[in-house]
Amino acid sequence: MTQTRAVTLNALSLYAVALVLAAAFAAQFMLHELPCPLCLLQRILFATLAVGPILNIRFGPRPSHYAISLLAAVAGAVASTRQVLLHILPGDTGYGSALLGYHYYSWALIGFVAAIALTAANVATTLLECGLSACADNPVVYELLRHAS
């Protein structure tokens, strides 16, 4: 992957996180819905999710940067799963408004799981490309696949 493509993809992920946080603020102020403590925690974890892409843009992609995002996504998935489980009983209308049939905490769970999947895929391809050592300046092969053949 070229440096330009890596920066572009990381910038797109930052825009996605900003969109999620902007939607949360819009719901808070336009729909007059105060966020619960778990909602606030999920917002913080979405913001923390952005740290990995920020570091990737500034210093170049590294597995440790993806690890920060992965930890934030796992913590966010735990928090949003907790909130889903709080409102899963029959007759419980959930907390706050629904968007396309799902409450915001359900969408947060979907977002965090998607971030986990994407981060895990990036970590896997980085490990294939670089192995357990420093990446080549101009890689032409996946190091771990080269040794396998």
Residues 6 or more apart from 66 whose CB is under 8 A from it?
Answer: 52, 56, 119, 122, 123, 126
The C-alpha atoms of residue 64 and residue 43 are separated, in whole angstroms, by 22
pLDDT in tens, 6-20: 889 899 999 999 999
Rounded CA gap, 37 and 110, in Å? 19
What pLDDT does 1 receive?
Answer: 62
Domain positions in the chain are: 3-148
Residues 147, 130 contacting (CB under 8 angstroms)? no
* Residue found under tokens 């403590």: 37
The architecture that CATH gives domain 3-148 is: Up-down Bundle (1.20)
Mark 21-35 as b/e (b = at least 16 C-beta within 10 Å). eeebeebeeeeebeb
26: tokens are 């819009």
Output the pLDDT for position 22. Answer: 94
Average pLDDT of the residues in 114-136: 82
- Tokens coding 97: 């408004």
- Dump pLDDT digits (tens) for 103-114: 999 999 999 999
Q: Which helix (H) or strand (E) holds 64?
A: helix 63-86
Q: What is the pLDDT of residue 147?
A: 63
Confidence of residue 139 (pLDDT cuts 50, 70, 90): confident
Distance CA 64, CA 123 (A): 9
**Per-residue model confidence (pLDDT) at position 146:** 77
Per-residue pLDDT at 149: 56
Q: Is the pLDDT of residue 127 over 90?
A: no
Q: Model confidence over 43-71: pLDDT tens digits?
A: 999 999 999 999 999 998 887 898 899 99
